[in-house]
Chains A and B, each alone.
Chain A
Amino acid sequence: MAVARFDPFMRDMEHPVRPTRLGASVILLILIVLSLAAVVPLYWMFATSLTPSAMTVKLPPELIPSEPTLDNYRTVLRQPNFGRWVLNSFIQALSVTAVTVATASMAGYALAKLPFRGSKLLFWLFIMSMMLPFEAILVPLFLVVTRLGLVDTYLGLLLPLMVSPFSIFLMKQFIQTLPTELLDAARVDGAGEARIFWEVVLPLVRPGLAFLGIITFVAQWNAFVWPLVVTRSSGMRTLQVGLVLIREQEPLFFGLHMAAAVLAAIPVIVIFFAFQRYFLRGVTVGALKG
């Protein structure tokens, strides 16, 4: 196996199957093509959002807007209820994240360290339910929410989204790694369970809480199906549903769709770059070691 000793692309000279210099160039080429394919559509969204409407319907497409303008953004902001949709999306993402992180870490603590009669059964029930995707219970869930009179209300929108066996599992895996002796020591010192949870457990699993909070926020910001079926009035819609409504109302104004899409993408893209390491580290909660 030939070795490219000075190749700046290679991580460490000791990697046993490092490629040859020619191999490295081919590899880079493949990676660039594949990553461009994934990123160019996002660039295209941005470019179109800056293109005046008249220029979007001409051939060939302009790869770089020759007369960039913010008109599309102004039109988006003038859409009735657009501000309301943004607000609703923030309400949804922030409240579901806060409640999920709080209640799932409590439940995770109970299942990891405070066994009670039936706790194993409950844990298995949670695990089994993770197998069933949200879409599969959409219809009956809608009926329950209808019966409770919560259709087109914030409670109806938010409560079902707060159920998160996955988060419970995640927090249980984090909390399980804490030494039980530490908790016992706190008990000997006379701390109550609530105080132990607040002052010992939570500070120690802070990275887990941060990770759960970040992925929950992103998932909730992007959620579509449930907000689509449970909201009715325009003022209750969330941004993701609003994007589809804008397109239905103005089917031919592509710059407008793309400007709205850019605005809807900004929060998650900011979060992605701010917390990149959480996304790219590939958190492997206890599982991969097992």
Chain B
Amino acid sequence: MADQATDLHGGTTTLRPRAPRRGRGGNASGAGTRTGGAWGLLFVAPQTLLFIAFFLIPVVIAFALAFMEVRPTRMTWVGLDNFERVLADDLFKKALVNTSIFTLVVVTFWLAKAVLIAYLLDPMSHALQTFFKSAFYLPAVTSGVIISLVWLWIYHPNFGLLNGLMVALGRDPVAWLGNTSTALPALMAMQVIMGGGSSIVLLSAALARIPRDLYEVAIIDGAKRPTIFARVILPLIRPTLLYLVVTGTINTFQVFEAVYVMTQGGPQFATTTVVFRIYQEAFQRFNLGVASAQAIVLFIITFALAAVQFRLLGKNVEY
């Protein structure tokens, strides 16, 4: 689920800038250019109009609203007041901290798990690979709401499966989601356990493309397995890894469904995340100006992460 976002919003598809194949000016081979113009515009129009109405305009509005106080009847310009309120809001700061911890832990463990599994699967027979990949992929096609409901039940303080296990092991039951010290870790564990499906598939494809000769050479040089992993495999799957790290980070940072369904940000704001905070501000307290200012802080963080992505990936396109 950590990568559920990646999954479907990012697909099992790797999006990386293509290395330019032909020269700069050599795109499309002339013929289309004469008749292309009008037809091109026509073909691109439906998606472009939707894009303008439901993406560009909202983004522009978000920036405008962030400087206004929004009342049902009128809007007033308030300059940076909303941002001052956002930055002075301890709960928003807490949400930022919670989300950062969540993202860091989830992305780290989820990726480590995916790399380990893809590596272990690599020498296996096709049938076994398909079997395991399906098992790992299944939670990724199941919706976040469903996964959250299931884990809400597993974490149930009295009758949940996990506490059943704890009691069977002679330990005391724990209110996993009711405790400020365990609630966020419980959400993180769920994401790591259920996540990874599509990343395993991508990493596995990357591993399968490594030329066998490279391994042979390394073995002849006397390299042991850890060395081969660190010196041959890791550098060669690095583009895929970087792609997964950054899209995973961006998407995990937007965590909302699990919080909404399982904890509503509690207990005592221990699981309040940025998107959940924005949701509360906008749709429960109807402070749209403040919510827009918060959303812009989220924009900036996300774009900073995306900029890192472009730099790192850009470097890697040339191998």
Query: Footprint of B on A, CB under 8 Å?
Result: 1, 8-11, 14-19, 27, 30-31, 34-35, 37-39, 41-42, 44-45, 48, 56-61, 103-104, 106-107, 109-117, 119, 122, 125-126, 129-145, 159-160, 162-166, 168-170, 180-181, 183-184, 187, 193, 197, 215, 218-219, 221-222, 224-225, 228-229, 240, 243-244, 247, 254, 257-258, 261, 264-265, 268-269, 271-273, 276, 279-288, 290
Contacts and interface: CB of A to CB of B under 8 A. Distances in A.
Interface stretch (B77-85, B100-108, B128-136, B180-188): B128-136
A231 to B, nearest CB: 12
A281 B159 CA distance: 40
A121 B309 CA distance: 20
A258 B188 CA distance: 22
Interface of B: 4-5, 7-19, 27-29, 31-33, 35-44, 46-48, 50-51, 53-55, 57-59, 61-62, 65, 113, 116-117, 120-126, 128-130, 132-139, 141-147, 149-154, 156, 158-161, 164, 167-168, 193-194, 196, 198, 201-202, 204-206, 209, 212, 215-216, 218-219, 225, 228, 239-240, 250-251, 253-254, 256-257, 260-261, 275, 278-279, 282-283, 288, 291-292, 295, 298-299, 302-303, 306, 309, 317
B245 to A, nearest CB: 14
A116 B40 contact: yes
Nearest to B306: A131
Given A39-B138, A170-B11, A258 B125 contact: no
Q: Which of A38, A122, A264 has the most CB of B within 10 A?
A: A38
Contact of B134 (A107, A184, A280): A280
Given A215-B11, A280-B201, A269 B257 contact: no
A131 B145 contact: no
A34 B218 CA distance: 30
B32 A115 contact: yes
B102 to A, nearest CB: 14
B201 to A, nearest CB: 4
Given A181-B29, A290-B17, 17 more contacts: A35-B135, A39-B139, A44-B153, A57-B158, A59-B159, A103-B50, A114-B40, A132-B302, A133-B250, A137-B58, A139-B295, A140-B292, A166-B11, A193-B43, A224-B143, A272-B141, A282-B204
A38 B50 contact: no
Contact of B143 (A11, A112, A130, A265): A265
Nearest to A11: B125
A15 to B, nearest CB: 4
A53 B257 CA distance: 26
Contacts of A228: 260
Contacts of B31: 180, 183-184, 187
B43 A107 contact: yes
Contact of B194 (A41, A114, A224, A284): A41
Contact of A107 (B46, B146, B250): B46
B62 A42 contact: no
Closest 10 CB pairs of A and B: A16-B215, A114-B40, A219-B8, A222-B143, A140-B58, A110-B43, A114-B36, A131-B306, A116-B40, A140-B62
Contacts of A218: 8, 141
A265 B225 CA distance: 41
Contacts of B254: 133-136
A31 B295 CA distance: 40
B13 A132 contact: no
Q: Which of B146, B196, B303 has the most CB of A within 10 A?
A: B146
Given A180-B28, A279-B12, A61 B141 contact: no
Contact of A282 (B12, B47, B219, B253): B12
A86 to B, nearest CB: 14
A161 B121 CA distance: 36
A79 to B, nearest CB: 15
B33 A115 contact: yes
B interface SS class: helix
B146 A9 contact: no
Contacts of B57: 140, 144
B3 to A, nearest CB: 12
A39 B13 contact: no
Given A115-B40, A144-B57, A282-B204, A287 B143 contact: no
Nearest to B274: A135
Nearest to A99: B46
Contacts of A170: 11, 13
A132 B9 CA distance: 11
A222 B288 CA distance: 27
A140 B282 CA distance: 10
Nearest to B190: A41
Nearest to B121: A31
Given A119-B40, A140-B292, A265-B142, A288 B159 contact: no
